[in-house]
Amino acid sequence: MVTFSDIKNSKEISTYISKGNDVLGVLGYTEHGYGHAEKVARKAAEILILLGYEERIVELARISGYMHDIGNCINRHDHAQSGAVMAFRILDRMGLPPEELADVIGAIGNHDEGTGSSISPISAALILADKSDVRRSRVRAAGGSMADIHDRVNYAVHTSNLTVKPDTREIVLSLEIDTTISAVMDYFEIFLSRMLMCRKAAEYLGLNFELCINDIRLL
């Protein structure tokens, strides 16, 4: 049985994550390396644990979350699909059975807001975990130099928490934003499509998605 530990200890997977992060650094994107991979893996698993999913589904969500951005080492464009193909080759060789392999590559191939949809609990959890990772530490610009709106918005976020409330069937993304760095409307300008994708992912899991910025509910 392929485990999350096997994935984290794979030199091959680690190399693709690192190289993909380097590529996006050259292109001016925020951090997409081990920090992002580990955070998405952890949060995707946490969502499904709190909703009562079985242990193996949770483990596959961890694996999907950790590997979801490996396609960036090829090209940012269509990285979800290329990452899914890469993941198929790697995980098939590691011995992941076809029924689990299909779930993982389906989740990876559907995590991008341009082409993706929630097609399984694993994919929905991955979308929510990935799109909610907005934080200052992802900004690469020295001293938080804010030439790019993505850098400015991420740098403005002091705290970001995605909270699952099983009893009320809610999942809430709460952000504290320094509006002297970035206006709330800047967040919507670049992240509205991601938030709408999160809402659909939450609905797939039987949850209501809420977005709160500076204690004000906006979605």
For residues 211 and 217, the answer to whether their CB atoms sit within 8 Å is: yes
Computed over every residue of the chain, the mean pLDDT equals: 94
What is the total count of domains within the chain?
Answer: 1
Whether 146 shows a pLDDT value over 80: the answer reads: no
Per DSSP, 34 falls in state H
Whether 18 shows a pLDDT value over 70: the answer reads: yes
Per-residue pLDDT reduced to its tens digit, 172-211 = 999 999 999 989 998 988 899 999 999 999 999 999 999 9
Per DSSP, 59 falls in state H
All residues at 6 or more sequence positions from 118 whose CB lies less than 8 Å from its CB, including other chains: 110, 124, 127, 200, 201, 203, 204, 205
Assessment of whether the complete model's pTM goes beyond 0.85: yes
Whether 143 shows a pLDDT value over 90: the answer reads: no
Q: Which domain holds residue 154?
A: 4-217
Neighbours of 99 (CB within 10 A): 7
Identify the CATH number of the domain in which residue 207 sits: 1.10.3210
